[in-house]
Structure 1
């Protein structure tokens, strides 16, 4: 199997270009990130070219984290900010060759929030389509992201199907699904046709995938058996030196 290092957590102490080089040296096949906007996209593209890695995806800005923002696209009254964040993310993705943009919903609930979110997603899908960029949405668990608009995979799939854009998919994070819904393998099997990217971390502590409630060696075998051939995103908290947590990687790459 192939794996992507999420540089929002792995090697997060390094400048983004240096983290890309570290991921390549560790044996990852690709990288992804959260919010790369403080880094010159030219420097990112250069690091990708030097290592031969692809940048799979990035997130739209959260807004003002100090004020509690964790995304903008489902916030009634902030539609203009949401569109600006989406356009910025698509432009950055184009500049570095990223394949998808994760549109962050934010902390909201109710019918007005859904209308705002769907409007933002329609814009995102239209704006990204000419460049071959996919849009993904991700439910987050209430332990880590209380109040987040997207709470579970059923809600996300309902929105994806309502919009009906061919470049809108689900980001299936095994950690979030495991914390909120359980039955990670069964849900992944059922939802795979709608999945644009898969991420993972130990449940419940979000550490490396060598312990916890999800049997990742088995799950990686299942994913390979389902025909998934894209890199899986390692989005876990290393809790220290990233290199010290990579004992799982060599065996998993042989699957």
Structure 2
């Protein structure tokens, strides 16, 4: 049966993070994930996870200053980028998170590429002893103009260059559909290097039972491909989160 993870960076944002975890459990999600939990004491999050029995799948490194959207591809911010990686690993260890999305930031060019590769090697080396997987995610230019990592092929090349077993691709169906189309074919092509999958309607980035992308077909394909991890619901609700969860039943394949 298809399982779902509530991305609490977008869902139940009106609640403190521990209460959002409880709301996700009450709604029937099998897991949760978040963006930047660092202002919430890790012990409060850990207790909510223990109380509900939900795993927290992933979190992000911080975005840096306004407009940067990450630090790890910025040639002049390498010390801060590695501090952000250390911060994410430390928080992840305290709450039992096994995946960290290292955000690249707004940058272009060969120097940015080399910086990103170096910081990813640092992240993978620091994370491996704790059983943590590092994720990188291509973002579409409509939502994240100027973001360094923007295509699946670019991500695949970086993963190959870094050469670390604990570096994987975060495949967001919404971003892929906006940038490259044909989500089903790309899922099949890149499946061996995927560490986490997220989804939202296209182009609205709202509940997944609307828009141009047929998630009933996508989720059925993933089931046939043997994907057995919770899929991340990273969408912006068009109404109060709890009211708009009918898709969980209609799209949950048996």
TM-score, normalised relative to structure 2: 0.98
Residue 145 of structure 1 corresponds to which residue in structure 2? 144
Task: Give the conservation status (yes or no) of the 8 Å contact 2:138–2:152.
Answer: yes
Unpaired segments ≥5 residues, structure 2 = none
Residue 209 of structure 1 corresponds to which residue in structure 2? 208
Residue 200 of structure 1 corresponds to which residue in structure 2? 199
Is 1:24–2:25 an aligned residue pair? yes
CA–CA distance in structure 2, aligned partners of residues 109 and 254 of structure 1: 41
Measured after TM superposition, the shift of residue 253 of structure 1 is 2.8
CA–CA distance in structure 1, aligned partners of residues 33 and 100 of structure 2: 10
CA–CA distance in structure 1, aligned partners of residues 40 and 252 of structure 2: 30
Measured after TM superposition, the shift of residue 146 of structure 1 is 0.1
Query: 2:72 aligns to what SS in structure 1?
Result: coil
Task: Give the conservation status (yes or no) of the 8 Å contact 2:219–2:253.
Answer: no
CA–CA distance in structure 2, aligned partners of residues 181 and 141 of structure 1: 9
Measured after TM superposition, the shift of residue 6 of structure 1 is 0.1
Measured after TM superposition, the shift of residue 251 of structure 1 is 2.9
Q: Deviations over 1:128-185 (max 9, x none)?
A: 0000000000000000000000011000000001111000000000000000000000
Residue 49 of structure 1 corresponds to which residue in structure 2? 50
CA–CA distance in structure 2, aligned partners of residues 244 and 164 of structure 1: 44
Q: Deviations over 1:108-128 (max 9, x none)?
A: 000000011001000000000
Task: Give the conservation status (yes or no) of the 8 Å contact 2:207–2:238.
Answer: no
Map residues 77-116 of structure 1 onto 2, 5 A cutoff.
Answer: 77-116=76-115
CA–CA distance in structure 2, aligned partners of residues 58 and 149 of structure 1: 19
CA–CA distance in structure 1, aligned partners of residues 78 and 143 of structure 2: 25
Query: 1:36 aligns to what SS in structure 2?
Result: coil
Task: Give the conservation status (yes or no) of the 8 Å contact 2:45–2:95.
Answer: yes
Q: Which runs of 4+ in 1 moved over 4 A?
A: none
CA–CA distance in structure 1, aligned partners of residues 211 and 164 of structure 2: 36
Residue 188 of structure 1 corresponds to which residue in structure 2? 187
Measured after TM superposition, the shift of residue 254 of structure 1 is 3.8
Unpaired segments ≥5 residues, structure 1 = none
RMSD between aligned alpha carbons? 0.7
Query: 1:209 aligns to what SS in structure 2?
Result: coil
Is 1:36–2:37 an aligned residue pair? yes
Residue 159 of structure 2 corresponds to which residue in structure 1? 160
Task: Give the conservation status (yes or no) of the 8 Å contact 2:63–2:71.
Answer: yes
CA–CA distance in structure 1, aligned partners of residues 146 and 61 of structure 2: 18
Measured after TM superposition, the shift of residue 211 of structure 1 is 1.1
Is 1:232–2:231 an aligned residue pair? yes
